[in-house]
Amino acid sequence: MTHAMLKGSNVPLEATTVRAVLRWTPGQGVPDVDASALLLGPDGRVRSDEDFVFYNQPRHPAGKVWRLGKKRDAEGLTDTIQTELTGVEQEVSRILLVASADGVTFDRVQALRILLYDAAGSDAEALAYFDVKPETGQETALICGELYRRGEGWKFRALGEGYSNGLKGLATDFGISVDESEAAEEPTTTVPAPPTTNTPAQQTTAGPAQQPPEASPPLPPEQPAPGVPAQPAYGYPQQPPATQPAYGYPQSTGRPTYGYPQAPAGAGAAGAQSGYGYPPPVTASPDPDFTLPPQGPQFAGR
């Protein structure tokens, strides 16, 4: 027999392991709902952050409370918390069953219901169910109900208590420490290094940075004069040799004069032979009236 519960009512549980199922109807604009559980001690607070079972910590360290995750059935979407009641630590007196929507108010969630099943039984019929109605519609987290100890057994109570500051605000109220210093990191931009050059490193001094001198453009290769052979002149201007060089002296058309001025070409036989340092003979035409001087007796009759 399934118990239809009202807010504030309770029902005893004979099952040793119960499955608490949150179910809602999906649709356009309907937020996703997450199920979670908080294990509270006799003072109404968690013993540590490990007593918070939710999507980032789906199983309690003691292994008796865990989150099964979301499923889709014929009537909507579900998210489930399962609890092995007989194994829960004696220090835990209450287990809150919570529904939360990330930043979206519950007035947009349609047909939210919590159902309790006997996880060890084969009967598919729920033990109890409770239709959760938000009081203001601005809640972003709801305590749907709680499992609590009564003597040697357990009971379930329907609550429907809401929080407008979400799952974080609800968890903080029951002793969960929330790190408020977390902030989104700014994206980093990698600046590429300047290209390296083959210029030698310059000594740096105090004051404004000095710019490296601009390199002079390369001179065009010197072109040889027309008619000059390509043989290098070994650092001196190159002369167009007509014949064999005159050992460092200006060259004439005839035999070299070994350092003395050379007679002009076409000066006759006398001009062809060097005077070995003396002026060359006059090459004018002979006088027709010229006679030999008188000869001595040693030349007479010969």
Confidence of residue 185 (pLDDT cuts 50, 70, 90): very low
Confidence of residue 278 (pLDDT cuts 50, 70, 90): low
Q: Which residues contact 101 (CB under 8 A, 6 or more apart)?
A: 31, 32, 33, 34, 108, 109, 140, 141
Which neighbouring-strand residues pair with 70? 79
Confidence of residue 118 (pLDDT cuts 50, 70, 90): very high
Strands in 151-259 per DSSP E: 153-163
Which neighbouring-strand residues pair with 25? 110
Quick: pLDDT tens for 55-64: 999 999 999 9
How do strand 65-73 and strand 76-84 relate by DSSP bridges?
Answer: antiparallel
Sheet of strand 10-13: strand arrangement: 10-13, 153-163, 141-150, 94-101, 33-40, 52-53
81 pLDDT more than 90? yes
pLDDT for the residue 179: 67
pLDDT for the residue 287: 63
Torsion, Cα 132 137 138 143, to 10 degrees, reads -10
pLDDT for the residue 1: 79
Identify which of 21-30, 224-233, 268-277 has the greatest average pLDDT: 21-30
Q: Which residues contact 151 (CB under 8 A, 6 or more apart)?
A: none
pLDDT for the residue 263: 47
Whether the Cβ atoms of residue 156 and residue 146 lie closer than 8 Å to each other: yes
Q: Cα dist. 107→27, 101, 104, 158, 286 in Å?
A: 13, 11, 9, 19, 149
Cα 237 to Cα 296: distance, rounded to the nearest angstrom = 62
pLDDT for the residue 6: 96
Confidence (pTM): 0.60
Which neighbouring-strand residues pair with 5? 130
pLDDT for the residue 290: 62
pLDDT for the residue 218: 54
238 pLDDT more than 80? no
Pick the residue with more confidence: 216 or 35?
Answer: 35
* Percent of the chain predicted with pLDDT > 70: 58
Pick the residue with more confidence: 101 or 215?
Answer: 101
